[in-house]
Amino acid sequence: MDSRLQGWRSIFILIIFLLTNIIVIFPIRIAIPHRWLRSTLPQVLTSRFNFFATPRRTEPLRFIIGHKTAPVIAVLLLLVSTSVDGSVVRDGILGVDGVNPLDIMALFISLAYLAISLDATGLLRFLAFWVANRGGPSGRRLYILLYLFFLSAGILIGNDPVILSGTAFLVYFTKVSGVIPPTAWIFAQFSAANIASAVLVSSNPTNLVLSEVFSLSFASYTANLILPVLAAAAVSLPVVLYQFRNTAYIPSTIPSVTVDTKSILIDRPGAIIGSILTLCTLVTLVGTSPLKIPVWEVTVPPALIMLSRDILHDLKTAHYVRQSNANPTQGDFEIDNTEISPAGYHHRPPPSWVEHPLKWLSLIRQRFPTTVTILTRLPLSLLPFAFSMFILVQGLTNAGWTAIFAEWWAAWVKRTGTVGSIGGMAFLSSVLSNVCGTNIGTTVVLARTLRLWNELHAPSIRERNGAVYALALGTNFGAFTFSFSASLAGLLWRDILRQKGIEVTPWQFAKLNISLSVAAMLPATAVLLGQQYVIYK
């Protein structure tokens, strides 16, 4: 056993880490019979949440151990087994050696709120329909315009909002246009969004982790990746057009869809305010990055301003609805009063300890529909996942595994040089995204490995920068390689399509994406390699 390892605990930590990643890819579903729920849950819960809608319902409720729960359970197992102690948990949350998970997550959630709030105004759907209406009858021209639109949107607001709103738009648009199946359109959108998300630090949580670990300024990060990403996009578009060259996927002509785009933009003032706040935040992040100002101080205030604006919007809308309800002949809304029965309400029995908070939650949702909708769409499940992955990687580091990984990487770079550093890291990170707890887990592991390699072996600046930015490319492009679980965006994309009645099989996902990922990665890494030799002579 390597002298840097710490006996059985090191082996156990590695086993738990690997098992956790396997469970994230292949979730465990535990069936809970309904008779157990009837005997354990209060009756008010079963009726309130409609667990047992009909007496004939026999299928069990399923508890899923996946990306939301597996990493947390893994940390608890390591604590119970004394493989790690409280200091590892503290370092994994508060940070150590310049890595600040709290700052990263505060930055990500605040930017996510801005993006989702902007999307809730209808702006992204409005722009998508506007682009579609400019496409004319040519199916291929429209396909290219939408690809470029999703690419541009992914750069500015990140891949998650594009996938969240753009997927629903494409399903509707292709259905009313008679384009069935929508395979070519949804796959092009997914690849474009994930190619684009490599450009800005703020576009993907993997970029945030990387910039934090290596203290990269937002400006230098974008300057190093903008040309590789544009090269990837330029090559990927012809490839996807050839891949779906059959007119069954991209018809020669598409009938125009008559939609009043103004009706889609449901909150024009919110769209204006949100756009200004988002653009100002991104510009400020780039401008202040050399000053080493904590990034959360830049992004959290605009998010709070937008949150306040959404709350005021809901209050104003509720006031308008109440006025319309009092005088139905005035206003533009038709109000259904059937649920308001003050007399009947007083005859109800007093609410139980469970009903009371549920009633308040229902009232809050009715009073603040926009704000609650945005908050529920926030990727809050990422928080326990990301913090747990930071803790697990900190456990690997304390156990000596990261040092061993760094030695393996040093041996590879010594034999292959800058070419191997860029090509090897791009390939390794994109593949590991599928088997290492999504691309976030991959970024955390490989970023810590590269940092230790840089400290112990002092590689050339070409080798060092090449590996760091190749890691950024690999973890973004790795989202569209083999499996949905390569990224949380992939899991979100699959779930949205299922809700719309479209099933993409794992085999179809891998088959159609492999050629796209290779087409994106080869020119991107070639340009990145050329940059290192041009800049660092």
Is the four-CA dihedral 440, 229, 454, 290 of positive or negative sign?
negative
The answer to whether the beta carbons of residues 61 and 50 sit under 8 Å apart is: no
Quote the mean pLDDT of the chain. 82
| Structural domain includes residue 338 | no
**Furthest-apart CA pair in the chain: how many Å?**
83
Helices first, then strands: H and E counts in the chain: 24, 2
Check: pTM over 0.75? Answer yes or no.
Answer: yes
| Structural domain includes residue 454 | yes
Q: 99-124 pLDDT, tens per residue?
A: 778 887 888 888 889 888 988 898 87
Residue 339 confidence class, pLDDT cut points 50, 70, 90: very low
| Structural domain includes residue 15 | no
| 180 CB-contact burial (10 Å; exposed 0-12 / middle 13-18 / buried 19+) | exposed
Q: 448-484 pLDDT, tens per residue?
A: 899 999 999 989 999 999 999 999 999 999 999 988 8
| 408: pLDDT strictly greater than 80 | yes
| Structural domain includes residue 364 | no
Of how many residues is the chain composed? 537
| Structural domain includes residue 43 | no
| 64: pLDDT strictly greater than 90 | no
Q: What's the structural domain count of the chain?
A: 1
| Structural domain includes residue 362 | no
First vs last C-alpha separation in the chain = 42
Q: 276-326 pLDDT, tens per residue?
A: 998 898 888 877 767 777 778 888 999 999 999 999 999 888 656 555 555
> H or E element: which one contains 30?
strand 28-32
The answer to whether the beta carbons of residues 31 and 60 sit under 8 Å apart is: yes
Q: Which domain holds residue 402?
A: 87-321+372-536
Cα–Cα distance for residue pair 89/87, rounded to 1 Å: 5
Q: 349-387 pLDDT, tens per residue?
A: 555 545 566 677 778 888 888 899 899 888 787 788 888
Residue 101's Cβ-side half-sphere holds a number of Cα atoms within 13 Å equal to 26
| Structural domain includes residue 449 | yes
| Structural domain includes residue 20 | no
